[in-house]
């Protein structure tokens, strides 16, 4: 795989979680479901799982991005 392709994948791994996090800021229906009565702990757990997943994707993107830098 060429370094341009790796760099594109890295930018996608950085940009997509950021866009998804912005989308969640304005549309939080994914976190709170109306069909069940959830406690605050369940909502917090779902939020923390989403934050951790977005962090991991962003971290993978930065690792790929740094590995494609020209020396």
Q: Going residue by residue through the chain (71 aa), what tens digit of pLDDT does each one get?
A: 787 888 888 888 888 988 888 887 777 777 676 666 666 677 777 788 888 988 998 998 888 888 887 65
Alpha-carbon span 40 to 5, nearest angstrom: 42
Q: CB-based contacts of 9: which residues, under 8 Å, 6+ apart?
A: 61, 64
From first CA to last CA, the distance across the chain in angstroms is 18
pLDDT for the residue 14: 87
pLDDT for the residue 66: 86
Does the pTM surpass 0.85? The reply is no
């Amino acid at each position: 795989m060429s370094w341009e392709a790796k760099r594109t994948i890295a930018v996608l791994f950085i940009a997509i979680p950021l866009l998804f996090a912005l989308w969640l800021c304005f549309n939080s229906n994914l976190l709170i479901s109306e069909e069940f009565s959830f406690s605050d702990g369940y909502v917090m757990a779902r939020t923390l799982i989403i934050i951790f997943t977005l962090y991991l994707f962003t971290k993978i993107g930065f690792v790929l991005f740094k590995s494609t830098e020209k020396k």
